[in-house]
Amino acid sequence: MSSTVLSGTPPTHAAHRGLPATFAALLRKDLRLATIIILPSLAALALLSLVAVITPLLGEDAMRALGLLALEGRGVLARIGAFATLFWIISAFACVLSALAIAAGDSSGRARHLLPVLPVSSRMAYASKTCACALVIAGFLCVTGAVQMSGDATMIQSGSIFGYGLLLANGVVWAFVAPLFARTFGGAFVVTIVTPMLLFLACSVVGDAIAFFALKWTLISRDAAPWFGDGSLAESGGLGFEFSMLISNRAWTCSAVVVLAVGLWCAWHARKAVLCARSVRGVTRLGVVRVVACVFAAAGCSGIGAAAVVWNDNPAISRALVAAGTYESYRTMPVDELVRRWGSYWAFVDSNRATLFDRSDERHGFEAMFWPIATQDGPASVGSLDPEELIARRLITRAIGERLESDPEGVRAAARALLDADAPRSPIEQVRLAELIGPRTRASVLLHRLAAGPSREETRVDLIMLLTPCLSMLDPQWDNMSKWRRQPGEWLGGVDQHAWGLAPFRIDCGGGPKSCPMASARAEAVVFVTALEKRIEEGTFEPTDARSPHDRLSVGKAVLRAARHALEPSFPRLADHRLADSPWLKDATRAPSVTDDQSLYLPASLLFDHAQTDSSYLLPTGH
Amino acid sequence: MNTTELSRASGDPAVLRESDQTPSTQNPGKDAIELRCTGLSLRFGKVRALDGLDLTIAPGECVGVVGRNGAGKSTLFRSIIGAETPDAGRIETTPAMGRVEFLARTGFVPDTLAVYDWMNAGQAIDFVAALQPRFDPSWSAELQSVLGIDRSVKIRDLSRGMQARLAFVLGLSHRPDLVLLDEPLLGVDAVTHDAVLEVLARMRSVQGCTMLIASHQLGDLARLADRVVFLDRGRIVEECETDELVTGTHRLIVRGVAEGWSAAVSDSIILARRQDSAHILTVRGDAAPIRLAIERAHPDARIEQIALSIHEACADRLRALETTP
Amino acid sequence: MPLPFLVNPNAPVPIFRQIADGFRAAIGRGGYAAGDLLPSVRAIAEDLGVNPNTVHKAIAELERDGLVAAERGRGMVVLAGTRAQARASGDEAVMQHLAEAARLAAAAHMDGERFEQLARRAMRAASTQQPTAPRTGASS
């Protein structure tokens, strides 16, 4: 026994070893906690490297199976580098599990009552854990980075680096949260993996819904909602097309960042639990309330963040905002200017379309001209347009529509002024201006132009296509407002000729009217002109209507006759030149059955089956 | 034990003076700590582990804590040592000190050995030595020899008794002024038991440290504690000087009274039971007034009085707590 | 020297009294002669594994009973004096035997009254045998 004990004098305390030694002891202990993860991971990596090294010795099949065939002869390091992705994956697992071992190692093991009893400041103890974690992560990242460098020189995108870093950070941070919720190592593992995933899911789903509604209401408040997408945003309350527009990588990144922020906040509160100064408490009502509130707050932040990102990034939104501004200018514009813009828009469309025709070599002739016009009035009018043009069309259409309701006189006056002006206009522009005044004016304009004898075949095609919707004026149930909504050939094949009071007609084209849209279009134009002629002669067609006195059909018999003659010639230049050698063309007689392509070589009268068609529709052959 | 060395050194004046200066409650050691817990509360989900607990331990005093399993003893210790954070309440010491200094001057011996699995006994002791600024190597060596610690044995291979001994070494090697023992002698063998008692008695004699012991071994409390407190459902329900507990608790065996008779309710009656045809009353303090009252009311009754050991005195109190709502 | 008695914490007797009784018996038997030093409080506490305050209490009782006294610079000394010794020896010797008898009685489930009866009978028998034995008032 030492005499110090017996003497009873106060014992000499052991010399204080100093903070660095204390920290070193703690750091050693924390690193030792993680060795259970580090050693197997390093072993796995070593095994991978070994496989890469010895593969050439196993023959070509082995090399091919592992995807190393391309690297033959490039050296050991290159082969190891080919496994870089596996290295990254293993490293990620190793880092997160090591963080878990370090964070939960004290609180879930037998040493639970050792650490809090020792006179070390909590700051030092926690710092030791974070240092140990950082060392482990740095080690694994260095090794993996070296492997990546020695592999194929494929540059990793900064996006994947950011994503990997985010995933790793979340795993590590939530590992330091787990001791607050789990007593055992297994429980801590589950918490580390499951909690951030669930939170991420909640943030993504709820956050996206929040983002959607935030964007929607912001767009609505800026009056930009009708110009976003297909304009259905303002009416519907539901998620659909727009929803998928919003879920983007950026929104997911927002959620991941929010989950990380929540993790850091929770880790701050879990400090004591990590240092075994606080044990896991049971589930309390207050705790559940706090968790739910936290989840909603996180989802809210994520949603707002995603909304902000999408607001800046999504071109549809910026287009919609610009469109809102444009629309506002349209609304305040003087009516003359607006109508002029309306006209020039269609002139622009027309000029673009002509360019299209020059470029289109797969679609030949009439067909290339045909479809854009045919679809302009039809239901599928928007399908082929790009988003910019779609918005521009909707803007001007809606502006004009509103102006027609608020100031119909002014619109009509402006349109009349433009029509009467001397400037040359494309037929489409004229038609659209005329439409503002009324359908009769429209028909008048078209017929006058036809009668004037269009110089170019393309123009003649335009006029024919634009004429066919005027057939609705012959409908006994026409009420000035009904619009033409039929596909080419649909009317021709299905009309009740007797009910409409039309002389019988029937075209002779292989497959019927619906299969011969081009022939049908020409035939419909002929029928219209002929029938109109007849009704004006009989006096059964009202040139104007009491409800719309401004709308007048101002064509005379001469104009109609001239128009009918203008409809007659064939379209050899627009037709498929490969058919030009068909024998029956030389005879200018009919072949027994004609396809739609071949019909372009025929004059309009020969499109009809003479046996079943009234002669009023036909012109003698040779005109 | 030490008396042989003592007699050898009896001629040394320093030794003789020392006997007058052995710390006692009237004269606590100069480094002794006073511990005050006020209003400690802690809930685990629905369970109240601590419910407004108040406890004051005077410097140099040894307090024993008795309670049923689940009464909150371990939670109390963990709260004092800082392994648990109470929801409410304060823990103060005199002299006031920061957390780190408090831990440096406090020793904790838990009921299960708290140490890292990969270490052996020697590494565990060295680990604690590195982190305890007041670690006393000679005192630790003495503890290890008295308790018979084998430094090379792995923690996994330690028997129950060896674990308890190592827990003592780890918890007391730094000569703490406040010693907390949470069931330190659960299931240990007789040799360990005696060795530990000797160490604790030595620490109290030499240093006069303040102690708080929780134990089911009531005999140990009788030996070591100045005062015993009873812990029930998270609060202190009774406290008593140890000697008072023994001298002041008696059982009265009452025979010859009717079946349904029950003693008048009185503060002094801790517990009333029936066994065979007799009524057994456990009485606190002076039993004479109760005896007289019964004899007056029932002249035919036969009453016998038994003095109780600390074991029965505590057991009856615990039984009484069980039946209280 | 090791203490010539043990303490039993499970006895219905407080420990300080057991220590005091132990010393009383020892002094009575002559284990500690007049002028001998008692072991220090610390030594007693360590030997028995008890609270030093308890030892203080026990020694205070012995001091009160006049068996020991504190001597400056030395410790607690056993006082000289036949009276003290005799009292100690007297009380203690009887107590020792009585303790044994009491154990027998408890084993036979004898109640206190019967035991008193027997004790009185024994006293009567003893006093007739030893008329010169001083009556020390050691009645039960």
Which residue, B110, B87, B149, is CA-closest to A116? Answer: B110
- Which alpha helices (H) appear in A68-121, and where do they start and end? 76-82, 84-104
Q: Does the pLDDT of residue A460 top 80, yes or no? A: yes
Which one of A1, A29, A39, A118 makes the best mutation probe of the B interface by having the most chain B beta carbons within 10 Å?
Answer: A118
pLDDT at B6: 35
Residue C106: list chain B partners with CB under 8 A. Answer: none
What value does the mean pLDDT take over residues A38-56? 89
B144 vs A17 pLDDT, higher one: B144
Does the beta-carbon distance from B206 to A5 stay under 8 Å? yes
- Tell me how far apart the terminal alpha carbons of chain A are, to the nearest angstrom: 139
Residue A434, token pair as written in the block: 């005329």
CA distance to partner chain A, nearest, from residue B262 (Å): 43
Residue A512 region, left (φ>0) first, then alpha (ψ -120 to 50), else beta?
left
Distances in Å between the Cα of B311 and the Cα atoms of A25, B68, B201, C16 are 45, 14, 21, 17
Our CA dihedral for A459, A462, A463, A464, rounded to 10 degrees, sits at: 120
CA distance to partner chain B, nearest, from residue C136 (Å): 26
**Greatest Cα-to-Cα distance within chain A, rounded to the nearest angstrom:** 144
A586 vs B108 pLDDT, higher one: B108
- Interface check for A20 against chain B (CB to CB < 8 A): the answer is no
What value does the mean pLDDT take over residues A419-445? 86
Does the beta-carbon distance from A118 to B132 stay under 8 Å? yes
- Interface check for B104 against chain A (CB to CB < 8 A): the answer is yes
Output the CA angle A303-A307-A310, nearest 5 degrees: 135
- Which alpha helices (H) appear in A151-184, and where do they start and end? 158-175
Residue A116: list chain B partners with CB under 8 A. Answer: 81-83
Selecting from C10, C57, C74 the residue whose C-beta is nearest the C-beta of B219 gives: C10
- Interface check for A184 against chain B (CB to CB < 8 A): the answer is no
A485 vs A452 pLDDT, higher one: A452
Please write the tens of the pLDDT for every residue from C125-140.
Answer: 776 654 443 444 444 3
pLDDT at A608: 86
pLDDT at B5: 36
> Distance between CA atoms of B224 and C51, rounded to whole angstroms?
5
Q: How many CB atoms lie within 10 A of CB B190?
A: 8
Report CA A111 to chain centroid distance, whole Å. Answer: 56
Which range is least confidently modeled, A588-592, A614-618, B49-53?
Answer: A588-592
CA distance to partner chain C, nearest, from residue B97 (Å): 27
Residue C7: list chain B partners with CB under 8 A. Answer: 223
Annotate A323-379 with DSSP letters as a single string: HHHHHHHHHHS-HHHHHHHHHHHHHHHHHHHHHHHHH--SS-HHHHHHHHHHHHHST
Number of H helices, E strands in chain C: 5, 2
Phi/psi of residue B222, nearest 5 degrees: -60, -35
Annotate A184-223 with DSSP letters as a single string: SHHHHHHHHHHHHHHHHHHHHHHHHHHHHHHHHHHHHHTT
Which residue, A399, A427, A617, A620, is CA-closest to A525? Answer: A617
Q: How many CB atoms lie within 10 A of CB A4?
A: 16
- Tell me how far apart the terminal alpha carbons of chain B are, to the nearest angstrom: 48
Residues 6+ away with beta carbon under 8 Å from A133: A34, A98, A99, A102, A103, A172
Helix or strand run (H / E) with residue A614:
none
Amino acid at A113: H
pLDDT at B25: 59
Residue A236, token pair as written in the block: 């519907």
- Interface check for B243 against chain C (CB to CB < 8 A): the answer is yes
Radius of gyration of chain C (CA): 17
Please write the tens of the pLDDT for every residue from B142-192.
Answer: 999 988 899 999 988 888 888 888 999 999 999 999 999 998 888 788 888
Chain C, nearest residue to B313 by Cα: C12
Selecting from B31, B101, B131 the residue whose C-beta is nearest the C-beta of A22 gives: B131
Residue C43, token pair as written in the block: 């030594």
Portion 7-26 of C in contact with B at CB < 8 A: 7, 9-16
Please write the tens of the pLDDT for every residue from A300-352.
Answer: 888 888 888 878 877 778 888 888 898 899 989 898 899 988 888 888 777 76
Residue B21: list chain A partners with CB under 8 A. Answer: 8
> Distance between CA atoms of A568 and A555, rounded to whole angstroms?
19
What value does the mean pLDDT take over residues A420-448? 86
Please write the tens of the pLDDT for every residue from B26-48.
Answer: 666 677 889 999 999 998 888 88
pLDDT at A359: 40
Annotate A44-80 with DSSP letters as a single string: HHHHHHHHHHHGGGG-HHHHHHTT-GGGTTS-HHHHH
pLDDT at A125: 92
Q: Can you tell me which residue has the tokens 């504690």?
A: B225
- Interface check for B12 against chain C (CB to CB < 8 A): the answer is no
pLDDT at B152: 92
Does residue A595 contact residue A516 with C-beta atoms inside 8 Å?
yes
Please write the tens of the pLDDT for every residue from A357-394.
Answer: 444 444 444 555 555 555 554 333 444 567 777 778 88
> Distance between CA atoms of B99 and A125, rounded to whole angstroms?
13
> Distance between CA atoms of C105 and C112, rounded to whole angstroms?
9
Which residue, B175, B40, B170, B55, is CA-closest to B105? Answer: B175
Q: Is the peptide bond before B28 cis (omega within 30 degrees of 0)?
A: no
Our CA dihedral for B309, B310, B315, B321, rounded to 10 degrees, sits at: 130
Q: How many CB atoms lie within 10 A of CB B281?
A: 25
Please write the tens of the pLDDT for every residue from A463-507.
Answer: 888 888 888 888 888 877 767 777 777 888 888 888 888 888 888
What value does the mean pLDDT take over residues B228-245? 91
Percent of chain A beyond pLDDT 70?
A: 82
pLDDT at A475: 85
Q: For C63-71, which contacts have Cβ atoms below 8 Å and span 24 or more sequence positions?
A: C65/C20, C65/C24, C67/C23, C67/C24, C67/C27, C68/C23, C68/C38, C70/B20
Our CA dihedral for A89, A93, A99, A103, rounded to 10 degrees, sits at: 160
Does the beta-carbon distance from B100 to A121 stay under 8 Å? yes
B209 vs A601 pLDDT, higher one: B209
Sign of the Cα torsion A281, A284, A288, A289 reads: negative
CA distance to partner chain C, nearest, from residue B116 (Å): 31
Does residue A419 contact residue A411 with C-beta atoms inside 8 Å?
no
Q: In chain C, which residues have pLDDT < 70?
A: 1, 81-90, 92-93, 127-140
What does pTM read for this prediction? 0.70
Q: Does the pLDDT of residue B258 top 90, yes or no? A: no
> Distance between CA atoms of B85 and B42, rounded to whole angstroms?
8
- Interface check for B222 against chain C (CB to CB < 8 A): the answer is yes
- Which alpha helices (H) appear in A543-606, and where do they start and end? 557-567, 583-587, 596-599
Does the beta-carbon distance from C15 to B243 stay under 8 Å? yes
- Interface check for C133 against chain B (CB to CB < 8 A): the answer is no
pLDDT at A580: 62
Output the CA angle B72-B78-B84, nearest 5 degrees: 105
pLDDT at A152: 64
Does the beta-carbon distance from B19 to C1 stay under 8 Å? no
> Distance between CA atoms of C17 and B118, rounded to whole angstroms?
49
> Distance between CA atoms of C17 and B221, rounded to whole angstroms?
16
Name the average pLDDT for chain B: 85
Q: Does the pLDDT of residue A353 top 70, yes or no? A: no
What value does the mean pLDDT take over residues A531-548? 86
> Distance between CA atoms of B153 and A96, rounded to whole angstroms?
33
Q: How many CB atoms lie within 10 A of CB A334?
A: 10
- Interface check for A286 against chain B (CB to CB < 8 A): the answer is no
Strand ranges in chain C using DSSP code E only, listed in sequence order: 68-71, 75-78
> Distance between CA atoms of B199 and B107, rounded to whole angstroms?
14
pLDDT at A244: 52
> Distance between CA atoms of C91 and B81, rounded to whole angstroms?
49
Phi/psi of residue A82, nearest 5 degrees: -65, -20
pLDDT at B11: 38
Does the beta-carbon distance from C42 to B18 stay under 8 Å? yes
Chain B to chain C Cβ contacts (< 8 Å): 119
Please write the tens of the pLDDT for every residue from B108-134.
Answer: 999 888 898 888 999 999 999 999 999
pLDDT at B129: 92
Selecting from B45, B117, B127 the residue whose C-beta is nearest the C-beta of A283 gives: B45
* Top-ranked range on mean pLDDT: pick from A433-437, A576-580, B88-92: B88-92
Which residue, A602, A526, A601, is CA-closest to A565? Answer: A526
- Interface check for A107 against chain B (CB to CB < 8 A): the answer is no
What value does the mean pLDDT take over residues A8-23? 57
Name the average pLDDT for chain A: 80
> Distance between CA atoms of C82 and C76, rounded to whole angstroms?
18
pLDDT at A478: 80
Which residue, A103, A294, A259, A130, is CA-closest to A189? Answer: A103
Does residue A433 contact residue A342 with C-beta atoms inside 8 Å?
yes
Does residue A260 contact residue A170 with C-beta atoms inside 8 Å?
yes
Percent of chain A beyond pLDDT 90?
A: 21
CA distance to partner chain A, nearest, from residue B25 (Å): 17
Radius of gyration of chain B (CA): 23
Q: Does the pLDDT of residue B73 top 60, yes or no? A: yes
Portion 262-281 of A in contact with B at CB < 8 A: 272, 276-279, 281
CA distance to partner chain B, nearest, from residue A240 (Å): 44
Please write the tens of the pLDDT for every residue from A162-192.
Answer: 889 999 999 999 999 999 998 888 999 999 9
Residue C40: list chain B partners with CB under 8 A. Answer: 6, 15, 18-19, 22
Does the beta-carbon distance from B82 to A281 stay under 8 Å? no
pLDDT at A73: 67
pLDDT at A194: 93
Does the beta-carbon distance from A116 to B15 stay under 8 Å? no
- Interface check for A161 against chain B (CB to CB < 8 A): the answer is no
ipTM beyond cut 0.90: no
